[in-house]
Structure 1
Amino acid sequence: MSPDAVIVGTGPNGLAAGVTLARAGLSVELYEAAPAIGGGLRTESLFDSDVVHDICSAVHPMAVASPFFKAFELTARNVELLHSPASYAHPLTDGVAAIAYRDLVTTCTGLGPDGPRWQRLMEPLLEHSDAVVELLLSGPGTLPRDLAAPLLLARRILAHGTRLHARQFATPQARALLTGVAAHSVGPLPSLAAGTVAMLLGHLAHGGGWPVPRGGSSTIAAAMADDITVHGGILHTGCMISDLRELPPAKAILLDISPAALSRITAGRLPRQYQRALARFRYGPGAAKADFLLSEPVPWTDPNIGQATTVHLGGTRTQILRSENATAAGMLTEEPFVLVVDPAVADPGRARPHKRPLWAYAHVPNGDTTDPVELITARIEKYAPGFRSTVIAQRGISAAQYEAYNPNYVGGDISTGAVTLRQSLFRPVPRMSPHRVPLPGVYLCSAATPPGPGVHGMSGYRAALEALRREFGIRRPPLLGVDSAAPGTPRSPQPRRTTSAPTFW
């Protein structure tokens, strides 16, 4: 029997779409090219069977804040989100570091004369946090339920996402602390898109926090996959889909893939105007990643940095602007922005005696082929002399190799498309229904669609709701909670799941 819906790709958005459609009572099948599900939510033992490393995403502020994950009740599904005392740290020279603690007052105290300014920036956003997150993750065209949210955001994005940002803080610590968060946009700075990212992630650092899942990111993917199979869904792994005609007949097809892959998989069947618009979609700088197995914690010059799971290595605001703008222009710099994650700070169970995982990536030009291990090691060593001597094992993944690992990361772009103002508003193309592909029953549900990058599941959720409405006449969103069962949920005697590749001929 043919399924009602088919999903290609089992990253967080593909899985979110699968959860939503299966909860609505549809028969759903998901196809994944890799041997394991998860996309950016994979965790593996790289150097030692007792120590696991997150292959892509490691820290998950959206697992706490996303409307999808809130409705899904992630923490009620044996996914424990663990916090370090500080959400993130930003070392500067001479052993000085700025620390963003979960506690806003403690953070402000550490910022000296900029403490009151930081509090005025973040406190109103925290007071309206649910509305702020909902607005930014709803995508264009959604009316806010709380009018305070857009007003608060607009003022702050203009102040910190334009050249006005130079007037906002007096100390190097506060300037660098916020600019490091803006650099998560992986593109030119300052920009309105980067200012938006800074406001979203910056205020969450003092609210729901920047947690890591106990045991690694794959626990999130496993919880979603389990819910799909319990509701009758089937997951196929090791199945590379190169043409839509390889899929079984289905009323709805949802694609958790990049626009470049969409062009390939549709094999010339897209309308010419849409295809031309899709060809104008741009990809941003790449990420080059290094994984380390350490004999001991990183010997940061400022021990307070060791309170943070996430550490931004970029130097002063001026230095971050210089390196990020050079990278966006296609130039590999000797001192790129580097993001370091030490998961055992929040999850001590990830470490073993004299064995500790460390994850780090550098921003590099799109498609760069440089092995990043030495580049990243030198950046860490600058702020943690003696780091090299703690390294037991290491491996590097260049930006070009990241695309080979996950085709959604074109040229190593882990955002599945440049995070610019235009591509935030019109992602992937200017269209009233951005998730809808102009082919019968086909939808794009990857991070190349609103609301964009991040492990929030909202791109898949929104695409699934649109497919339910248009293809099946189901207008009421299904319940996603642990104890809720959607009307019409199929009652299979046994959950169905397969890892064998189907035959398409």
Structure 2
Amino acid sequence: MAEVVVVGSGPNGLAAAVIAARAGLSVRVLEAQEQPGGGSRTAELTLPGFHHDVCAGAHPMALAAPLFRAFDLAAHGVELLTPTISYAHPLDGGTAGLAWRNLESTVADLGRDGPAWRDLFGPLVEHSEEVVELAMSDMRVPPLRVPTAVRFGLRLLEQGSPLWNTRFHGAAAPAMLTGVAAHAITQPRALPAVGAALLLGTLAHAGGWVIPRGGSQAIPNALIAELERLGGEVVTGHRVDDFAELATARAVLFDTSPAEFLRIAGDRLPERYRRRLGRFRYGGAACKVDFALSGPVPWAAPGCELAGTLHLVGSRQEAWEGERRVAAGEFAERPYLLAIQPGVVDGTRAPAGQHTFYTYAHVPNGSDRDISESVIAQVERFAPGFRDLILAQHVTPAAFMPDHNANYVGGDISAGAMSLRQTAFRPLARWNPYSTPIPGTYLCSSSTPPGPGVHGMCGLHAARHMLRTRFGIVTDPLDLLRGSQPAYR
């Protein structure tokens, strides 16, 4: 048995595995699925030659996350393509709010709300690296960035309070901000959702929301290649059912949901800890519908054809009402859709002249309903004629999400409800959220800080604790990834 075993091969687990291997430890990753990568896999879901991302499609953190900056995805063969427009938010009547990669282009597009948008995001874009460092911390010892923390905090309180409608006067800007906040699949005025909107909105203008050429699978493939170069291995099709098979490893990291960790560890955990971890809540879910199209989506609003990501929901009020209903366990009449059209920058995803297109529709947790007709109708609302382009479609209702990723309990792709408590204390209220009562055993999934997203930082923070407490290695994991320092005990 290897010195370090990682259960789960998502970006967090693979990040922890590479860090451990860079520290000179022997590493084995165990993955239940036949294809590694977790939420960053790519597969032909509809027709041959149409490559769909199974979960994550656009990657705001791929250029910005400290882990990926240190690892350098480009140096490991990942080509990150940047759409001219990071995201678009079409409205009824053939108009849209457009988040251009260039902040000033967005300001110009928003007319009288442009200066307010600049005031909101300009200072954050100027200090984007510090914003990311704050947001990607372990939520216990954030980096000392007081001016940036104050800037971020004031904007967080404004948009998370009854003041949220006082900044803007038109329809596009507030809808754009709310559309990004809804990524959290919770009420868009909740502080965790606003925090996500400010972070992702900043990155839209500070590098852009990149799309990997060939599919998101390129990211885990790069991590796996480096792990194997260092002597580690990834074993696929290996479902862990009993902690006993891991017991000889000196350290075990679980890139799994708390529910999956409880299933595997079982009675080895103290009863009080089991009860507390069992109360971890899972939030709103997603029904995913993938499409193979005969041509590009015929958007009514100019500019949408340049966006890699779109938020299809209408006005700020409609987005707020739809997310409120999902949080109450109901279906929105016209669901919020997060849509990705990788073909705007990547011609490898489909046969020449054709396109892949995927949508996430927000639905109640555990729903087994196929809502593809509602999804098509919502796309048609902003792109008349869309239905005529559909060659094939593939539907994954929320209840079936765990079939391809056990971390998505009930279809919760955030791996845990994004409530204020579960953002600050994830998965439990304890000083070290990565440690567990089993010596040498750690959690490193998106159910730990800093939470969901393809950034690998949950794995990095867990690996840092593991190296220090289990092996006495005090070298900064970022230095290990850069190769600038050897592992130091």
Partner AA of 2:299 in structure 1: W
1:396-475 superposed matches below 5 A? 396-475=395-474
SS at 1:50 equivalent: coil
**Secondary structure of the corresponding residue to residue 65 of structure 1:** coil
**Distance apart, 1:372 and its partner CA:** 2.7
Q: Distance in 2 between matches of 1:226 and 1:14?
A: 14
Task: Give the whole-Å Cα distance in 2 for the aligned partners of 1:480 and 1:356.
Answer: 40
3-state SS of the aligned residue for 1:124? helix
Contact 1:478–1:486 (8 Å) recurs in 2: no
Post-superposition CA distance 1:299-336 (Å, at most 9, x none)? 11113211101010111000000000100110012211
Q: Which moved more, 1:473-482 or 1:425-434?
A: 473-482
Instruction: Report the equivalent of 2:277.
Output: 278
The answer to whether the Cα contact below 8 Å between 1:77 and 1:482 also exists between their aligned partners in 2 is no
1:85 aligned residue: 84
Q: Give the equivalent residue in structure 2 for 1:309.
A: 308
CA distance in 1, matches of 2:156, 2:287: 28
Quick one: distance in 1 between partners of 2:168 and 2:480? 43
Q: 1:500 corresponds to which residue?
A: none
Partner of 1:155: 154
Decide whether the 8 Å contact of 2:368 with 2:397 is kept in 1. Answer: yes
- Deviation of 1:51 after TM superposition, in Å, equals 2.4
Deviates more, 1:429-438 or 1:266-275: 266-275
Residue 389 of structure 1: CA displacement? Answer: 0.2
Q: For residue 65 of structure 1, what is the aligned residue in structure 2? A: 64
Mapping for residues 39-118 of structure 1, pairs under 5 Å: 39-118=38-117
- Measured after TM superposition, the shift of residue 373 of structure 1 is 1.6
Indicate the percent of aligned positions where both proteins have the same amino acid: 47
Provide the C-alpha distance between the structure 1 equivalents of 2:288 and 2:196, rounded to a whole number of angstroms.
21
1:351 to partner: Cα distance = 3.3
Q: Within 5 Å, which residues of 2 pair with 1:231-270?
A: 231-247=230-246, 249-270=248-269
Q: Structure 1: how far apart are the matches of 2:53 and 2:184?
A: 20
Q: Does 1:389 align with 2:388?
A: yes
Distance 1:347 1:363 in 2: 26
- How far apart, CA to CA, are the structure 2 residues paired with 1:481 and 1:142? 20
361 and 349 in structure 1: CA distance in 2 versus 1, 3 angstrom threshold: same
Deviation at 1:347, TM superposition (A): 1.3
1:286–1:364 contact (8 Å) kept in structure 2? yes
2:29 is matched with 30
- Letter of the 1:47 counterpart: T
Matched, 1:380 2:397: no
Structure 1 position 276, deviation (Å): 1.8
Counterpart residue type for residue 385 of structure 2? G
Q: How far apart are 1:485 and its partner, in Å?
A: 7.3
Q: Is the 8 A contact 1:403 1:410 kept in 2?
A: yes
Deviation at 1:143, TM superposition (A): 3.7
Contact 1:24/1:486, CA 8 A, preserved across alignment: no
| Residue 371 of structure 1, CA deviation | 1.0
Q: Give 3-state SS (helix, strand or coil) of 1:464's partner.
A: helix
CA shift, 1:278, in A, is 0.8
Are residues 203 and 486 of structure 1, via their aligned partners in 2, closer, same or farther at CA, if it must alter by over 3 Å?
same
Task: Name the CA distance, whole Å, in 2 between partners of 1:445 and 1:114.
Answer: 41
**Partner-residue secondary structure (3-state), 2:266:** coil
| Structure 2 counterpart SS, 1:235 | strand
Partner letter of residue 259 of structure 2?
A
The structural deviation recorded for 1:480 is 6.0
What secondary structure, in the 3-state scheme, does the structure 2 residue paired with 1:64 have? coil
Residue 192 of structure 2 contacts residue 420 of structure 2 at CA under 8 Å; is this kept in 1?
Answer: yes
TM-score normalized with structure 1 length: 0.94
- What are the residue-to-residue correspondences of 1:127-146 with 2, within 5 Å? 127-146=126-145
Asked if structure 1 preserves the Cα contact closer than 8 Å seen for 2:18 and 2:223, the reply is yes
Letter in 2 for 1:398: P
Instruction: Tell me the equivalent position of 1:501.
Output: none
Local SS of the residue matching 1:217: coil
Is the contact between residue 4 and residue 252 of structure 1 (CA under 8 Å) also seen in structure 2? yes
User: How far apart, CA to CA, are the structure 2 residues paired with 1:94 and 1:399?
Assistant: 31
Match of 1:188 in 2: 187
* TM-aligned CA deviation for residue 279 of structure 1: 1.8
For residue 51 of structure 1, give the secondary structure of its aligned residue in structure 2. coil
Q: 1:61–1:201: 8 Å Cα contact kept in structure 2?
A: yes
Alignment of 1:325-336 (within 5 A): 325-336=324-335
Q: Which residue in 2 is equivalent to 1:21? A: 20
Deviation sequence 1:205-229 (CA, Å, 0-9, x none): 0012101001100000000001111
CA RMSD of aligned residues (A): 1.4
Task: Give the deviation of 1:60 after TM superposition.
Answer: 0.4
* Contact 2:64/2:132, CA 8 A, preserved across alignment: yes
Q: What is the DSSP-based 3-state SS (H/G/I as helix, E as strand, rest coil) of the residue aligned with 2:267?
A: coil
Note the alpha carbon deviations across 1:24-79, whole angstroms, 9 max, x for none. Answer: 00000100000011000101122333221111100001111100000101111110
Does structure 1 retain, via aligned residues, the 8 Å contact 2:138–2:461? no
Q: Which runs of 5+ in 2 are unaligned?
A: none
- The whole-number CA distance in structure 2 between the counterparts of 1:364 and 1:296 is 28
Instruction: Tell whether the 8 Å contact from 1:336 to 1:362 is kept in structure 2 after alignment.
Output: yes
Indicate conservation of the 8 Å contact 2:70/2:482, yes or no: no
Residue 353 of structure 1 and its aligned partner are, at CA, apart by: 2.6
**C-alpha separation between the residues in 2 aligned to 1:380 and 1:322?**
19
What runs of 5+ residues in structure 1 fail to find an aligned partner?
Answer: 490-505
Q: Distance in 2 between matches of 1:96 and 1:155?
A: 30
Question: In the alignment, what sits opposite 2:351?
Answer: 352
Once the two structures are TM-superposed, the CA of residue 478 in structure 1 deviates from its matched residue by 4.2
CA distance in 1, matches of 2:448, 2:239: 22
Partner AA of 2:157 in structure 1: L
Q: Which residue of structure 1 aligns with residue 207 of structure 2?
A: 208
